[in-house]
């Protein structure tokens, strides 16, 4: 089983950390102030994958730089980039190769705002899937504005199991489609850690087809309304509370996000329909004096009116970051409304911070397709490891193995924490 499992090409991957606004010299973190490094003084004592790379190839970790003036000051490092080629295996992709690029930086010289981040990831899988997302979370000086970008291209044969809460693994068959996503949201601070704003969401599907549907039976997709093309277009109204200092890997704080999305035909949507998403997260150090974290996540996804296209119905693993439902394949449960809950405990394994671990449990419920009521709860559970690829932004590679009911199980991978 492990031979088919997800394998990060750890020691054999090329991992590069680049420090912008800096010469080729790498300056020891203890000589920097008010930079990414100084946010957590203990980070300089940890080890990440670039450190292992330097050890293997006997490269110097630091090289002293001569002071640029008599005060002994040096340039601040404001950009950290981690690049990682990898290969893996997951439930929805089978074997896949990917290239990952993660950037963490401060946008202002004062560095009095949250860390901004950009993530690029291109994947090609055994299932002939092409996955190319570009995501960014940008904070301006003193967190006055928050700009969130989510652009994606997918060529994505994937499995669907029908609608409602009474489907089985044996019901699965392939649907194939191409997909473009353009999500843009701008928020403004209206109170400490509280933001409000608007956005625009566009989803466009084309070349949609059922590859191997069950014979002599009308599928739930066909009953719901099959179409070779589908467009959803509409503005969003957003309210967010976020007092986390590092959204890549939070150690404490709260995150709450409310998104109301009305789609209209005059804006290019195929139909008028509305959705409401409430995303709530809480992080606690446990024990308080450690870096171990007990985290909670609730994701409520409702269709408040109209009829979304089949692919945009709430479903397992199709939240904004595609991370819900570890233990089940993406799209395992699908309906007009979904309630999701998860708890995870994150802990260190090695004293140098290179390897960590997690245990998690989750539960999801979707509405029954006739009564539209929540009647069943499907639990998931499992454990995983964390490999630190950037100790200053605290970016991890997450590799988890999850279990669900009905024999569902498999590996799940992510750059950064699941939530």
Contacts of 231 (CB under 8 A, 6+ apart): 202, 203, 204, 205, 268, 269, 270
Give the pLDDT of residue 78: 67
Region of 164 (left: φ > 0; alpha: ψ -120 to 50; beta: rest) is left
Nearest to 319 by CA among 337, 296, 301: 301
Give the pLDDT of residue 42: 57
Q: Which domain holds residue 20?
A: 2-415
Give the pLDDT of residue 77: 52
The CATH number of residue 371's host domain is 2.40.160.50
In DSSP notation, 163-220 reads: SBS---GGG-EEEEEEEEEEEEEEEEEEETTEEEEEEEEEEEEEEEEESSPPTTS--H
CB 156 within 8 A of CB 129: yes
CB 360 within 8 A of CB 385: no
Evaluate the CA torsion angle 301, 303, 309, 313 in order and state its sign: positive
**Long-range CB contact pairs, 265-268, < 8 A, 24+:** 267/233, 267/234, 267/235, 268/202, 268/231, 268/233
**Domain count of the fold of the chain:** 1
Q: What is the DSSP letter of 223?
A: H
Phi, psi for 229 (deg, rounded to 5): -135, 150
The span from the CA of 25 to the CA of 329, in Å, is 46
- Reported as a single tens digit per residue, the pLDDT across 147-159 is 999 999 999 999 9
- Reported as a single tens digit per residue, the pLDDT across 183-226 is 999 999 999 999 999 999 999 999 999 999 988 889 999 999 99
Residue 83, CA atoms < 13 Å, CB-side half-sphere: 5
Give the pLDDT of residue 28: 31
CB 340 within 8 A of CB 328: no
Phi, psi for 220 (deg, rounded to 5): -60, -35
The span from the CA of 287 to the CA of 156, in Å, is 42
**The whole model's pTM is what?**
0.84
pLDDT in tens, the chain (419 residues): 433 333 444 333 433 434 333 322 222 333 233 334 444 445 667 898 888 888 887 765 544 444 444 434 334 456 778 787 877 778 888 889 988 888 888 888 888 888 898 989 899 999 999 999 999 999 999 999 999 999 999 999 999 999 999 999 999 999 999 999 999 999 999 999 999 999 999 999 999 999 999 888 899 999 999 999 999 999 999 999 999 988 889 999 999 999 999 999 999 999 999 999 999 999 999 999 899 999 999 999 999 999 999 999 999 999 988 899 999 999 999 999 999 999 999 999 999 999 999 999 999 999 998 888 998 999 999 999 999 988 888 889 899 999 999 999 998 888 789 99
């Amino acid at each position: 089983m492990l031979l088919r499992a997800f394998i990060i090409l750890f020691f054999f991957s090329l991992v590069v950390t680049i420090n912008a606004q800096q010469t080729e010299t790498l300056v020891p973190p203890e000589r920097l102030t008010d930079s990414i490094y100084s946010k957590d003084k203990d980070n300089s004592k940890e080890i990440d994958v670039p450190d292992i790379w330097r050890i293997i190839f006997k490269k110097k970790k630091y090289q002293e730089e001569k002071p640029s003036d008599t005060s002994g000051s040096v340039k601040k490092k404001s950009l950290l980039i981690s690049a990682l080629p990898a290969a893996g295996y997951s439930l929805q992709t089978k074997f896949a190769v990917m290239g990952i690029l993660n950037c963490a930086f401060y946008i202002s010289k004062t560095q009095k705002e949250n860390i901004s981040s950009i993530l690029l990831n291109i994947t090609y899988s055994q299932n002939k899937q092409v996955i190319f997302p570009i995501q960014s979370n940008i904070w301006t000086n003193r967190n006055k504005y928050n700009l969130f970008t989510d652009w994606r291209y997918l060529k994505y044969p994937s499995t669907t199991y029908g609608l409602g809460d009474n489907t089985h693994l044996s019901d699965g068959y392939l649907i194939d489609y191409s997909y473009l996503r353009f999500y843009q949201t701008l928020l403004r601070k209206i109170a400490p850690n509280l933001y409000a704003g608007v956005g625009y969401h566009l989803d466009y599907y084309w070349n949609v087809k059922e590859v191997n549907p069950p014979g002599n039976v009308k599928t739930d997709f066909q009953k719901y309304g099959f179409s070779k093309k589908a467009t959803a277009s509409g503005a969003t109204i957003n309210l967010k509370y976020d007092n986390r200092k590092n959204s890549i890997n939070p150690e404490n704080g709260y995150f709450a996000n409310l998104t109301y999305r009305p789609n209209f035909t005059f804006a290019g949507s195929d139909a008028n329909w509305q959705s409401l998403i409430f995303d709530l997260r809480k992080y606690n150090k446990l024990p308080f004096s450690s870096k171990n974290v007990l985290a909670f996540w609730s994701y409520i996804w409702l269709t408040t009116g109209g009829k979304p296209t089949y692919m945009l119905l709430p479903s397992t693993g199709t939240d904004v970051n595609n991370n819900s439902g570890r233990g089940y394949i993406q799209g395992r449960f699908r309906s007009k409304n979904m309630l999701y809950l998860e708890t995870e405990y994150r802990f260190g394994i090695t004293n140098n911070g290179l390897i960590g671990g997690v245990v998690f449990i989750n539960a999801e419920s979707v509405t029954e397709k006739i009564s539209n009521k929540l009647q069943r709860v499907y639990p998931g559970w499992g454990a995983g490891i964390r490999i630190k690829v950037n100790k200053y932004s605290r970016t991890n590679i997450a590799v988890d193995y999850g279990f669900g009911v009905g024999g569902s199980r498999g590996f799940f991978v992510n750059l950064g924490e699941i939530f």
